[in-house]
Amino acid sequence: MIRPDLRMPSSGSVRRIYTSLALLVLMIPAIAMQFTSEVAWDLRDFAAMAALLAMLGIGLEVVSRLARTPSAWLIGMAGAIVMTILLWVELATGKIV
């Protein structure tokens, strides 16, 4: 049974939050490159991360639109995030944890 006080966030609010976080994630290495030589991203690295974040955003949008219950929404969001992290680890190291 679904409790009436539990509501799933609207896709518009998820989209705004996600876009802000994605831009923040892309800014972190750009800022770090100004202070240390250990972070050395080039255009390909930023493009790969942007593509990865875009795919995650599309996955989150699909889950947000298709999930019928809060538990389905939560499982779908967690699954999309975990899949993205695994792909990121594979791209960064060449080894799946």
pLDDT on residue 6: 58
Backbone angles phi, psi at 7, to 5 degrees: -125, 145
pLDDT on residue 47: 93
13-27 pLDDT per residue, tens: 767 888 899 999 999
pLDDT on residue 43: 92
- The stretches in the chain having pLDDT less than 50 are none
pLDDT on residue 60: 84
| Angle (nearest 5°) at CA 20 between 17 and 22 | 105
How far is the C-alpha of 24 from the C-alpha of 63, rounded, in Å? 22
How far is the C-alpha of 39 from the C-alpha of 16, rounded, in Å? 28
Would you list the domain boundaries of the chain?
11-93
Within the chain, where are the H helices?
Answer: 11-35, 43-66, 70-93
pLDDT on residue 76: 93
